[in-house]
């Protein structure tokens, strides 16, 4: 159980932050940037929820995703070093990716196939979902860069989860746009 009695510690005043297992890293370190981008994604998704008044099933999916994103942040903040820990670190597992895929398929079953790319927008919920999608894509780019960095480990399940999340957010944005009927489609070269 997490217990926070004091919010400020002053330990970050030197430009570093502590990972879960103790080591300190610069606040611009790629690992810190990675779980920071996951946190940004989660915050954007929190804003999405303010627009889901008539979509309780989707809201339940999104609450699960917000919890998963905390799991992903904990996973990234506890690098695999091979060192024995006194606890089992929280990791993203394949079943979390599988659940996202099932939810994508559930939402996508109500949608007509796309005829063009979709411009971000439509309803306020869809616009917020598109914003969350782009932030999730940024998080994915940071996580993949971290995974490819020498001496850093990131699980395949963590990368798959953040990749699938942006797919989920795209499909959810179409779904709240009256199941795609009010999507705003890109018209190539329209303003030439």
pLDDT at 192 over 70: yes
Write the DSSP symbol of residue 191. Answer: T
> What total of structural domains would you count in the chain?
1
At 86, is the pLDDT very low, low, confident or very high (cuts 50, 70, 90)?
confident
- Measured between alpha carbons, how far apart are the two ends of the chain, in Å? 58
- 132 lies in some domain: yes
* Domain residue limits at 178: 27-80+88-185
- 21 lies in some domain: no
Coil, strand or helix: which one is 79?
coil
Q: Which residues pair with 16 in a beta bridge?
A: 26
* CB of 132 closer than 8 Å to CB of 138: no
C-alpha–C-alpha distance, residues 57 and 154, integer Å: 31
- What is the model's pTM? 0.89
At 25, is the pLDDT very low, low, confident or very high (cuts 50, 70, 90)?
low
- 13 lies in some domain: no
C-alpha–C-alpha distance, residues 143 and 146, integer Å: 5
CATH number at residue 63: 1.20.1200.10
List, for residues 107-154, the tens digit of each pLDDT value: 999 998 888 999 999 999 999 999 999 999 999 999 999 999 999 999
Cβ atoms < 10 Å from Cβ of 178: 12
Sign of CA dihedral 142, 159, 92, 44: positive
- 151 lies in some domain: yes
- 116 lies in some domain: yes
- 58 lies in some domain: yes
- 16 lies in some domain: no
């Amino acid at each position: 159980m997490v217990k926070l009695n004091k919010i400020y510690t002053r330990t970050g005043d030197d430009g570093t932050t502590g990972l879960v297992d103790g080591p300190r890293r610069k606040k611009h370190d790629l690992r810190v940037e990675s779980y920071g981008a996951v946190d940004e994604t989660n915050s954007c998704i929190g804003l999405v929820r303010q627009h889901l008044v008539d979509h309780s099933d989707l809201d339940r999916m999104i609450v699960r995703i917000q919890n998963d994103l905390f799991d992903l942040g904990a996973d990234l903040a506890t690098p695999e070093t091979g060192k024995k820990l006194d606890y089992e670190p929280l990791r993203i597992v394949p079943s979390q990716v599988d659940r996202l895929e099932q939810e994508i398929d559930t939402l996508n079953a109500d949608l007509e196939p796309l005829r063009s790319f979709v411009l971000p927008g439509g309803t306020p919920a869809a616009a917020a979902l598109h914003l969350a999608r782009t932030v999730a894509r940024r998080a994915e780019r940071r996580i993949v860069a971290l995974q490819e960095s020498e001496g850093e480990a990131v699980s395949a399940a963590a990368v798959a989860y953040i990749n699938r999340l942006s797919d989920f957010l795209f499909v959810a944005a179409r779904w709240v746009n009256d199941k795609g009927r009010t999507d705003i489609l890109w018209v190539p070269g329209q303003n030439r």
